[in-house]
Amino acid sequence: MITADVRLIMAERPPINPGDWITVGEIRAVVSAVREPDNFSGDCEVVFNPQKPTNHDVVWTGEKWRFAERSDFGGYADKYPRLRQYVSILKRGPR
């Protein structure tokens, strides 16, 4: 009997920096904070939805970005002074 050593190979998290644009599912978002890998809050925080700017945590699945699972779906990004510059980038759109 031959036993194969099967391992799931997950891609490392792509390099990201605050102010970068990423796609989470179908949503374009601006990275507002980058965290250390394996942080309980997720890999980063993003702002999205220029009509009603929202912030939410995001995780890297090894293949794509997805929103962190939470009971709520983010906050009102334009109410946080620390997110002001990222909301501004979001409203200007990708360059």
pLDDT, tens digit, for every residue of 36-65? 988 999 999 999 999 999 999 999 999 999
Identify whether 83 is part of a domain. yes
Range of the domain at 55: 21-89
Identify whether 40 is part of a domain. yes
Residue 62 pairs in a beta bridge with none
Identify whether 4 is part of a domain. no
- Residues 6 or more apart from 93 whose CB is under 8 A from it? 50
Residue 57 pairs in a beta bridge with 45
Identify whether 5 is part of a domain. no
Which pTM value belongs to this model? 0.85
Quote the number of domains for the chain: 1
For strand 21-24 and strand 27-34, is the pairing parallel, antiparallel, or unpaired?
antiparallel
Instruction: State the chain's mean pLDDT as an integer.
Output: 88
Q: Where are the beta strands (DSSP E) in the chain?
A: 21-24, 27-34, 44-48, 54-60, 65-67, 75-76
Identify whether 27 is part of a domain. yes
C-beta separation of 16 from 34 below 8 A: yes
